[in-house]
Amino acid sequence: MKKLALLTLALLCLLTCTSAQNKNSEVYILLKPDRVFDGQQMHAGWWVLIKGNHIEAAGEPNSITAPTDAKIIELKGSTLMPGMIEGHSHLFLHPYNETSWEDQVLKEPRAERTARAVNHAYATLMAGFTTTRDLGTEGAAYDDVGLKTAIDKGVIPGPRILAATRAIVATGSYQPKSVTDNVFIQGAEETDGIDGISHTVRSQIGHGADVVKIYADYRWGANNTAAPTFTEEELKTAVEVAHSSGRIVAVHSSTTEGMRRAIAAGVNTIEHGDGGTPELFKEMKDKGIALCPTLAATDAIARYFYGWTGTGPEPESIKKKREMFSMALKSGVTICMGGDVGVFPHGDNAREMVLMADYGMKPIDVLKSATSVNAEVFGLKYLGNVKTGFLADIVAVNGDPSSDIKAVKQVKFVMKDGVIYKQ
């Protein structure tokens, strides 16, 4: 195991060195797959020319003029597509069937959690996800900003990170909890009131938050049932402050009233959406608020704790998730791809995409959701599409995911910012 760890470290160092060299050069790379999904539609026979860290050209072979010294990479049998964008991750968590959430937050040292996060980031990149929106460190303070910085500097390989830092919860609503006077590490930052939430949003932005994550409801109602936490006015204040800084707001919500308040406040995305109704989804569509359904997290929890094996009678939680997702599809609300990865293993991010198709979404729309849709919703101007001038975040998968979405799990090539990490 020690030799394996040393070899892995050496490989990471080699990748980092190669990354630095490639970023500083203006080399041309010509990619020749069987087909290209450009973020909107599939094109048979297209080629893609990369120059440095951006896409120089994409289209029919006779439309592309590559220099004679361009490096040619044949990708027979594959589909080239934009680097996928994970919409809901927790890089500082690992699956709950390994260690409970509470034990991770209370008992795992921060150094261990960061070491795990480094591995999780690498697994995410190797799975073809060149960007991730990380929605809360769950007790690891602002360490996601440090992880992001290390990746951006080339210290370690990993995806682009949109960090939410600590996330925001109403005082007394989140975990861990104690019936004594003991002070526990909190899984998110507690606050309350108009002034309080305004200050907390500004503080998290000051600590490096790219996105503001808020819990509009949580299991703090009678008998631990889910109930709204922040008032509508508190949420509106948080949104106003975040938007004034150019940040988007992601809101955890699993109740109908929590969703109603979040929609009224003008948030950008609603995570989970289990309390959704046709009326609420229509209102979200009208206001341009996207849904991040996290199907894979519900599926994983059902497997861990309710004996669900994927066959036979479905647990009630799975049935309700299917109903919610069906309502959302019928409404036409924008749907982001985000699985709440960390609840299930990092590197298995595409599990959410497979479930989206299984629950009724067309495979081509699932591909859009994980690329161009997420890029637009998250404000990633030059990502999510294979177009001239866009950043060279590109992956290739075996087969055609527009006919069989499971192909997205067969990643054979990963390029981020013009640097090849997997071939």
What are the sequence ranges of the domains in the chain?
2-82+385-422, 84-349
92/266 Cα distance (integer angstroms): 28
pLDDT of residue 23: 52
Write down the residue that tokens 């996601």 correspond to.
Answer: 144
Helix (H) or strand (E) holding 15: helix 2-23
What's the topology of domain 84-349?
A: TIM Barrel (3.20.20)
How far is CA 214 from each of CA 194, 270, 271, rounded to the nearest angstrom? 14, 10, 10
**Could you say which of 2.170.150.70, 2.40.40.20, 2.30.40.10, 2.102.10.10 is the CATH number of the domain covering 2-82+385-422?**
2.30.40.10
Q: At 281, which helix (H) or strand (E)?
A: helix 278-287
Measured distance CA(268)–CA(248) in Å, rounded: 6
Q: Say if residues 189 and 160 touch (Cβ distance below 8 Å).
A: no
List the beta strands (DSSP E) in 60-128.
Answer: 71-82, 84-89
State pTM to two decimals. 0.94
Q: How many CA atoms lie within 13 A of 240 on its CB side?
A: 12
- Between the alpha carbon of residue 122 and those of residues 222, 253, 376, 403, the distances in Å are 41, 29, 24, 28
Sign of CA dihedral 252, 255, 257, 260: positive
CA dihedral 97, 99, 105, 109 (to 10 degrees): -150
The closest alpha carbon to 47, from 78, 5, 15, belongs to 78
The predicted pLDDT at position 40 comes to 98
List residues bridging with 80 in a β-sheet: 36, 396
Which pLDDT value is given to residue 184? 78
Query: What is the mean pLDDT for each group of 10 consecutive residues in the chain (423 residues)?
Result: 43 48 72 98 98 98 96 98 98 98 96 98 98 98 98 98 98 80 84 98 98 96 92 98 98 98 98 98 98 98 94 94 98 98 98 98 98 98 98 98 98 98 96
Which one-letter DSSP state was computed for residue 108? Answer: S
CA distance 157 to 295: 28
pLDDT at residue 419 in the model:
98
Give the pLDDT confidence score for residue 26 in this predicted structure.
82
**Do residues 242 and 201 make contact, with C-beta atoms less than 8 angstroms apart?**
yes
Token pair, residue 372, equals 């161009």
Torsion angle defined by CA atoms of residues 112, 306, 358 and 275, in that order, rounded to the nearest 10 degrees: -90
Q: What is the DSSP letter of 406?
A: G
